[in-house]
Structure 1
């Protein structure tokens, strides 16, 4: 699903440390840096089944992997990323509900490098998965 968002509201929902890091960036620069949906890891199909159950299809270097989980999307995606050679650690997690959806910001560490990923979606689990992928794609 594609959301129309107010990027200023989205940035305002970010944690203070990310707002400080991105001070002086235009909304486009913020989006280009922290919301990388294209890269080594891509999210294909997303299905929120019920309550805390979801299925996500991920693409890694030309092959697909489907992740079905109940509960934490962070745990499920971290495990799938690790299995595919992306041992990512989530250092900070910040999520806030806005008028246009759930905004999620994650600070990831991968191969000794740290960076933020950000996303907004109707569903908090989808927002989490998209933010984690954006974080990974800043390094990969």
Structure 2
């Protein structure tokens, strides 16, 4: 797993228009705290891309009390959606935006779960990891809205 230092200003600027409109009064740091927070019932424990020319990856997800390994070829959205459904998180991805920035690939996803909607965002070296992290952030945010 790669840890990137994030320029929150450029990340906030890379967000899709609808998300920026939803959060006009947030500072870049507040935007990052709200939409990129990975704390919650789901965590990414390990990440292994298979190679730069393939769309294969292995992700270990940490759920409350157990681990689940997702091995996928192709769409990380489809693989994560299936894995989350198997764990009881019936998430749908309503919007997906991905942009290359100077710091890496920024991904923004609008998720819906049990009638609630929320955005998740992430930045990583590759698009698949960024997608997985953004989906986890979005689902965790929706889970936090239940309490």
What is the match of residue 23 of structure 1? 24
- Cα distance in 1 for partners of 2:43, 2:94 equals 21
CA distance in 1: counterparts of 2:27 and 2:65, whole angstroms: 33
Q: Which residue of 1 aligns with 2:124?
A: 121
**In structure 2, what is the Cα distance between the partners aligned to 1:62 and 1:101?**
32
- Is 1:95 aligned with 2:111? no
1:46-85 aligned at under 5 Å gives the runs 46-50=47-51, 51-85=54-88
Counterpart position of 1:36: 37
Structure 2 residue runs of 5 or longer lacking an equivalent are none
Are 2:12 and 2:32, in contact at CA under 8 Å, matched by a contact in 1?
Answer: no
- 1:3 to partner: Cα distance: 0.5
- Pairwise CA distance, 1:54: 0.1
CA positional deviation for 1:6: 1.0
Q: Name the SS for the 1:25 alignment partner.
A: coil
Computed over aligned residues only, the root mean square deviation of the Cα atoms, in angstroms, reads 0.7
**Partner Cα distance (1:28, 1:99) in 2:** 18
Shift of 1:72: 0.3
The CA deviation at 1:41 is: 0.6
Q: Which runs of 5+ in 1 are unaligned?
A: none
Q: Separation in 2 of the partners of 1:139 and 1:13?
A: 22
